[in-house]
Structures are given as C-alpha cells and as structure tokens.
Amino acid sequence: MPNTQALPHYPPPLPGAQLEELKTHAVDWALAHGLVVRAPTPAGADSSVPAVTHAPVALFPSPFPRRCFEQALQLQPLFNQLVDTIARDHGFLTEVMDSLAKVDDFTGRLYDIYKRVHEEGVSQPISLGLHRSDYLLHVPQDSTAEPIIQQVELNTIASSFSSLSHLTHDLHKFLAKRTRFFNHESLPSPDITLDALPDNVSLHSIAKGIGKAWEHYNVPESVAVMVVQPGERNAFDQRWIEYQLFETYNVRLLRLSMAEILDQGKLVGNDKRLMINNLEVAVVYFRAGYAPTDFPSPKEWDARLFIERSNAIKCPNIAYHLVGTKKVQQILAKPGLVERFVEKQSDADLLRQSFTGLYELDDSPAGHEAAKLALEHPERFVMKPQREGGGNNIYGEDIPGALSKMSVTERNAYILMDLIRPPPLTNIMVRHGAIIKGEVVSELGIYGIWLSRDDEVYLNENGGHLLRTKAANSNEGGVAAGFAVLDSPLLPAQLGAGATDGHLRLAAIANRKITTTAPPTISSLWADPVADKYPLGNPMRSDYLSLGSTPPLDGKLSLGTNRDDLFSDSYLA
C-alpha cells in the first residue's frame, strides 16, 4: 500500500501569537549563543561602546532536495583536488592570466605577485585551502523537470559564515524541540523530523584546517594570523574560529589588517620566516584581500607581496587565489579542460554535471558568437566580472546597453553565464527583530578543507555547509532583490502518493515523485491553497507581512558590495 502521507503547507501557517513567540525564542537564543553581528553605530553615538544584534536568520529551515545536497557533498573533495592541481600548473595559469591581466587591473596586480614569487621560488611548499563551492537549484523555464544543482562559483578566499551557519543549524534544532513547530497540532507531518536537519561541522572545520596546518609547520610557539578588514561587523563569525583554534589546538591567533602586518612584521633568515612582534607566524588566513576596496593604497599591495614571499603557510596562497577567478571557472567548462586536471573520467563527469553554461566574451570567434547571443536573448544570461565583490554582475535587459558601451578588450574582463533559475518557496525571515514573510530562494555552500605538501595530501574533506536564503523578488535577469539571511537545509523524507496541488510547492523543491491526475504546471507548483481561505492581514495567509509590501528595515533592496554574487556576505549584517 503506498504511503499517502504528504508534506503540509510550508512553513506551517501559525497564528500570529505563536509566530511572535517563535520569533522571540529565535532572537533570544541567537543573542545568548553568539549568533550575532556587530550592530551599526548610530550617528553621534560612542563607537567605543560595543553593541550587537542577532544575525538575520530564517525562522524555519528551508526544504532542499536530499539528492542534490548529497551530490554537493560528493563534489567538494573533487573541487578541493581540482584547485590544487590547477594551482600547480604554471603553464595553464600563465596562459589564462597573461590575457586576463591586460583587461582587469585588480587581477593583474595579483598576477604580478604570483609571477614575482614564482621567479624567486616559493618559500613554503605546504598548501592550505579553505574553500566553499556555492550552488543554486535550477529548474528550466516552463518545465516540470526535477531540480538540479548548478555551481554559482568556487570561492578560494575568505569563505565566511562557517561559524554562524553551524549556530543556525543548532537554532533550528532548538526551535524544533522547544516549540514542536515541525509537527504542528493542526498539520501533523511525520515526514518533517529532526533527522531531516543534516549535521553541520562548519564551526569546527575551518579551525581544523588551520590547526592541522600549524601542526605541520612544526614550531610549537608559533602563532596564526587572520587578515581582517578594519571595522569588520562579521567579527563574531571570525572569533568563533579563533576560540576553536585555541581550545582545540592551543594555537593563538592574531587579528591584523594587511597594513598592520607590514608595519609590525619582518622576514627573518634565508627561509624568510614571518615574524610579527617577535612571534613566528605559522599560518596566515585571509578574511580580506579579495576585492579592490581591500587595497586602498600601495601599502596593502606591498603587504600582500610581503606575506606571499614569507615562509608562513598562506590560506590561500596566491595561486589558489587566482584559481578562484571567474575566467578559470569559464575555461573549465570547455570540452576536455576538466579532463586535463582530473584523472578519472567518472570524476570529471560528476564535476561537469554541476556546471552551468559558461562562455568567453573575448576576441575569439566563440567570444563574438557569445556576445551576439547575449544581445539577442539577454534574458537568458548574466555577465560576471573576474573580480570578487557582489553587485558587479549585469543581468538580463541591462546586458545590451552594457555590451554596446564596451570595446572587445573591455568585454574580455567578463564571462557570460547561463541564468540559473531556482524554484522559489515560502519562508519566514527575521531581521532586526522584525518578521518578514514571502517567496525566497536559497543558495547552498559546501566548505572544503585541503592540506597538502607537494603531492602528499594530508586533508581532503567536506567542512560542513552554509545555506543562505533571500527574497525571490526578481527582475528579468533573475537576480534576487532584497536581503539574505542565514538558514539551514531541511531534507524531507520520501513522499508517496496522495499529495494535493497545494503540497506540490514543497514536493517540487524536495524532488519527490508525486502521483497526480495531470502534470503540474509551474503556477500550480507554487499555488497557495491557504491564502484564499482567509481575509487580507490574517496571519494564516501566506502573504502575512509579505516581502511584496514590507521592505527591509534599512530600506536597501540592491545587492551588497562584498564577495558573494547573489548573496553578499556583507549584506547579511
């Protein structure tokens, strides 16, 4: 007999009083457990007085297909290995960067450092990679196909929110136990359980990578350095790494800007040991240095070269940093390129399954053809620059105007990417203590930990996950307009027959096969049978405090300016 249980409307349509109670539990738990960011200092206030606010979070975990989640986990060790293999292929990097450096000054300056260090000889053979590969679910337009994951980007520097992501997972587990909202009395659902919240080791994994690197450096009194941005509001995500590193490995970590490292540091001996205030530095972990704004003067560029020339283990080293450029991502999508770096064809095939369409915009015949296609069908694409920093992408209807103003040389600073179309669902978000509900999309990030010395691999593993969720209000290019919150994935159990159209919204996200009398349409996938039963303003409606009518408290609807394309790290704060 088939299982007739179906997932309920999601999230559970709680009455207003229960929703408010749930929000209070979430905010207080976050403040009590360090799920926080620094609060902005009001004009005229004393900036020396510390103030925090809860990190913006999703009140409920967001459903995500178990199959897609497990595929992302399977991919990460392959991407870790791929980064290292490419980074050690000097000929390939030189071929890619020689042309790219001519059209992107920031990447060109990084490449100058790479060439300088390569000519001198690399001082430190140990490589530490703390990466994060980010994915969106994709469903082709006007299709009822099962969702697949498509890689947005592979981050090789400053992959943040590992600590706060772990705490968000713990928050959702607490709310599930404390409030029973996974099994609301009016909507019993044995399919949604604590077992559907996958364990997340991201709080410990970054510290593990740094700690193991410190052990291989093998100088007992040495320290680690975290390179930070002045005035960092996401400091507590970073502090958790510092505390885990000290408690688990007894390693002291110094927080310094690049300018401070140059002022306080020196290279000692023929092996170029990095000394800061008479302390030997074993590991330098970059949480800054990924965007032009991190280099306001020549001093910061001098500091980046200074660090790279040292014997300290860099995370990332300059080669790993360059591997993370969009141009490398685009070139890997060409036929035969992944196979150049991956021995097993089955591994190469698995990697390729996660690639979306990526195209060059250079002066080659393929580049001209891609530009022509983008002009004819701009709604299908996004143009992405090489440099990090969200908010620089060009979407949909804005592409023709941008391309018409660019020379072919300027065009080469971008790649063209097929637009990923994630299926939206409904969730409730909490920001600055306010409840906001509406359609959202989620981006999954998988952390990767890599440690090696030449061909000897010490660590290659997953490092936990991050889920960021934001409003799905989209322009024609599909970019989510709004703000991001921290979230955690919910991997529902298998669904059987008996689901109604109103349940298909979640089932489509969860990638479960449901028996219906007719194939569902896109509109029926996101149909809301609850909203029509209640008057406007009733908390049972899905548009209660909807994103369509309630803007973020700070009034910002544009993307942030930090490193992540669709879900800017800085925009969470």
* 95 assigned binding-site residue: no
**Residue pair 420/152 in contact by the 8 Å Cβ criterion:** yes
* 419 assigned binding-site residue: yes
* 548 assigned binding-site residue: no
User: Is there a catalytic annotation at residue 468?
Assistant: yes
User: Is there a catalytic annotation at residue 389?
Assistant: yes
Structure tokens at 149: 């994951």
The catalytically annotated residue of 80, 155, 162, 222 is 155
**Residue pair 539/428 in contact by the 8 Å Cβ criterion:** no
Distance of CA 146 to the CA centre of its chain: 23
Cα separation, 493 vs 409, whole angstroms: 51
Cα separation, 488 vs 59, whole angstroms: 10
* 282 assigned binding-site residue: no
* 369 assigned binding-site residue: no
Cα separation, 426 vs 424, whole angstroms: 7
The catalytically annotated residue of 273, 411, 421, 468 is 468
* 476 assigned binding-site residue: yes
User: Is there a catalytic annotation at residue 388?
Assistant: yes
User: Is there a catalytic annotation at residue 397?
Assistant: no
The catalytically annotated residue of 66, 80, 123, 132 is 132
User: Is there a catalytic annotation at residue 153?
Assistant: yes
Dihedral sign from CA coordinates of 265, 268, 274, 280? negative
Cα separation, 332 vs 154, whole angstroms: 12
* 132 assigned binding-site residue: yes
Cα separation, 424 vs 438, whole angstroms: 10
The catalytically annotated residue of 314, 384, 431, 563 is 384
The catalytically annotated residue of 80, 123, 153, 437 is 153
* 334 assigned binding-site residue: no
* 443 assigned binding-site residue: yes
* 158 assigned binding-site residue: yes
Closest by CA to 478, choosing from 430, 418, 436, is: 418
Closest by CA to 308, choosing from 300, 317, 299, is: 317
* 522 assigned binding-site residue: no
Q: How many CB atoms lie within 10 A of CB 120?
A: 11
**Residue pair 230/300 in contact by the 8 Å Cβ criterion:** no
The catalytically annotated residue of 389, 396, 445, 482 is 389
* 234 assigned binding-site residue: yes
* 324 assigned binding-site residue: no
Convert 108-169 into a string of H (helix), E (strand) and C (coil).
HHHHHHHHHHHHHCCCCCEEEEEEEEEEEEECCCCCCCCCEEEEEEEECCCCCCHHHHHHHH
* 278 assigned binding-site residue: no
* 155 assigned binding-site residue: yes
Cα separation, 480 vs 484, whole angstroms: 9
* 393 assigned binding-site residue: yes
| Three-state SS at 414 | strand
* 261 assigned binding-site residue: no
* 386 assigned binding-site residue: yes
* 563 assigned binding-site residue: no
* 288 assigned binding-site residue: yes
Distance of CA 12 to the CA centre of its chain: 27
State in Å, rounded, how far the first CA of the chain is from the last one: 50
User: Is there a catalytic annotation at residue 344?
Assistant: no
* 473 assigned binding-site residue: no
The catalytically annotated residue of 304, 309, 314, 326 is 326
β-pair type (484-487, 456-471)? antiparallel
Distance of CA 413 to the CA centre of its chain: 22
Would you call the peptide bond into 42 cis, given omega within 30 degrees of 0 as the criterion?
A: no
**Residue pair 358/415 in contact by the 8 Å Cβ criterion:** yes
* 147 assigned binding-site residue: no
Q: Identify the residue whose tokens are 């029926």.
A: 524
User: Is there a catalytic annotation at residue 346?
Assistant: no
* 178 assigned binding-site residue: no
* 3 assigned binding-site residue: no
The catalytically annotated residue of 160, 163, 257, 462 is 160
Structure tokens at 61: 């975990």
Structure tokens at 288: 């800054």
User: Is there a catalytic annotation at residue 47?
Assistant: no
The catalytically annotated residue of 388, 411, 448, 511 is 388
* 157 assigned binding-site residue: yes
Active site residue ranges: 132, 153, 155, 160, 326, 384, 388-389, 468
* Known binding-site residue numbers for Mg(2+): 153, 155, 388
Give the residue ranges of the annotated binding site for ATP.
Answer: 153, 326, 384-393, 395, 417-420, 443, 470, 476
Residue ranges of the annotated binding site for substrate are 132, 157-160, 232-234, 238, 287-290, 468, 479-480
Binding annotation: 132, 153, 155, 157-160, 232-234, 238, 287-290, 326, 384-393, 395, 417-420, 443, 468, 470, 476, 479-480
